[in-house]
Amino acid sequence: MQEYWELYMKSLEGNPALVQFNAGISMEMEDLEYTHQTVGFVKAKLKEPNEKGFLSQNEEPEILFMEDKLESSMLKFRIGKYVGRIVSDGYVTFLYYLQFTYNWPDFIEYALNEHTSYEINNGHTHDPEWNYYKNLLYPTSKEWQIIQNHKVCDNLKEQGDNLQVKRAIEHKVYFKNEEIQDSLTQALEKEGFKIKKEIKNEDGIKGLEFYRLDKPFYHDIDEITFNLIEITEFHEAQYDGWETSVVKSVIKQNI
């Protein structure tokens, strides 16, 4: 199984939540649904959460040690796969998909014997459709876009980019039904975007490349791409991300 982890923020029951999940496991989900049909959880109350209900720097090492101990226990007893972690409202919840549960008590005792100072709940429930993974851990299209947006922003920042400077940001969209091209074009132009050219992807599906002058700062680009996802989904098309050039700050010196 490919280990491919992602981290993002979402809202759960009105509280901000940090979700870390194994995206790589989605590539094997069809097979795993037949063999790992039970979801298990371990939920620990944080001793000193920060003001957002997340891990504090002081407590993070102990929670990471707990996570490692749980994972090594899962491997020792060979009962399942670790799929994700949620931190929200002063709690951390670890989620697993299990092949069997007869030695779940042994798994818990071995994994948590060094963490008796924590208030911890655990349990498991039948979930053959993998709803916890698909609907709780796995991102929506907008949440996925946040992940990709922030990766691009981080990369630009590492190159010395001033994310607050407006510049041409290019976007792509693809559609299988070419009859919607005119209405989609009109919707994009109404939002101030200019069509650059018609394009095709590797599968021959037609699309558009378009641009607008905007700031690629984190919150700004999230708002822009959310709006584009809504527009493209309304027209039964698929938004395919953005790119831009690096614009570095210019330091003025008095001579």
Name the average pLDDT for the chain: 93
Q: Find the mean pLDDT for residues 88-95.
A: 98
Q: What is the DSSP string of 193-236?
A: -EEEEEEE-TT--EEEEEEEEE---HHHHHHHHHHHHHHHHHTT
For 41-50, write each residue's pLDDT tens digit. 999 999 999 9
Write out pLDDT tens, residues 78-87: 999 999 999 9
Q: What is the pLDDT of residues 58-79, one digit of tens each?
A: 999 999 999 999 999 999 999 9
How far apart CA 49 and CA 58 sit, in angstroms, is 9
- For residues 125 and 39, the answer to whether their CB atoms sit within 8 Å is yes
CB atoms within 10 A of CB 94: 23
What per-residue confidence (pLDDT) applies to 255? 45
pTM for this structure? 0.83
Domains belonging to the chain, first-starting first, are 5-137 (3.30.70), 141-244 (3.30.70.970)
Q: Is the pLDDT of residue 154 over 50?
A: yes
Give the pair of three-digit tokens for residue 170.
Answer: 């290019």
Q: How many CB atoms lie within 10 A of CB 210?
A: 21
Residue range 84-92: mean pLDDT, rounded: 97
Cα separation, 53 vs 12, in Å, equals 12
Report yes or no: 45 and 119 within 8 Å, Cβ to Cβ. Answer: yes
- Residue 13 identity: E
In degrees and rounded to multiples of 5, residue 194 shows phi and psi of -115, 130
For 179, the enclosing helix (H) or strand (E) is none
The mean pLDDT of 213-234, rounded to a whole number, is 96
Query: What's the pLDDT tens digit per position in 171-184?
Result: 999 999 989 999 99
Element (H, E) at 142: helix 141-158
